[in-house]
Amino acid sequence: MIRYTNPPREMREFNVNGTVNNLYCYPIKGLSAQSLEAVSLVQGEGFPSDRVYGLVRPKSGFDPENPKPLPKTKFLMLAREEALSLIDTNFDNETGTLMIRSDQQSAYFDITTKSGCASASWFLSDFLGISPKLQPTLYSSKPHRFTDVSVVSAAMMNSVSLINLDSVNYLSEQIGHPVEPARFRGNILFSGLAPFSELDLVGKLIEIGEVRLKVGQFYASQLP
């Protein structure tokens, strides 16, 4: 259940209750979503298992010993490497194993090790046709997260993204073409609020279960 916390007078005519439909994390930035049944959020720590790994391009300036936020263009991503849509990936958080599956083959990598990360990077580069000199490096620098909510604020990199499914459905109706909510790569997908009424929540607090979140705003083009 989602509800406003102490909505101002001008918002009291709005439907103030919503329902959480789906929870997703993206363990490796740019790769497959993974559905979750439930999560426990801790203040300042972001969404569990979300974007804890990133496939960093060469000469990106990323330092794993002193990680800083970087623009999404510094990483492999669907917007540039469209062939990523042809593979499925799954990360087992308990074993540290990354599974990569295409129509032709499946491969498994222990990405808790440098050699496993290097092998996974090579496998993806070979699949995508990336030359060795442009091969990305798979990094994890916990507690750093590879989101791109704000490239100037490490704290904002721990933001949780919410998508209003009613807004997505309304957009589909207006353009006469289906829009998949998955393309927005959000963590919490909800329904029950009027289309785009979530814009009225910017700067305010909402409650989801026992958690309070302060709502900010960023655009679909910025989503990791």
How confident is residue 10, by pLDDT bands cut at 50, 70 and 90?
very low
The tokens describing 82, both together, are 């469209």
pLDDT of residue 211: 85
Q: Which helix (H) or strand (E) holds 125?
A: helix 114-128
C-alpha to C-alpha distance for 163 and 188, rounded to whole angstroms: 6
Of 25, 75, 37, the C-alpha closest to 55 is 75
Torsions phi, psi of 200, nearest 5?
-75, -10
Q: What is the mean pLDDT of the chain?
A: 88
| Percent with pLDDT over 70 in the chain | 88
Q: pTM of this prediction?
A: 0.86
Confidence tier at 44 by pLDDT (50, 70, 90):
confident
Cα-based distances in Å from 58 to 17, 26, 100, 133: 46, 22, 22, 8
Selected residue with higher pLDDT from 18 and 222: 18
pLDDT, tens digit, for every residue of 141-200?
A: 888 999 877 566 777 888 899 999 999 999 999 999 999 999 899 999 999 999 999 888
pLDDT score of 207 = 87
Q: Which amino acid is at 145?
A: R
Q: Which two tokens stand for residue 133?
A: 């000199």
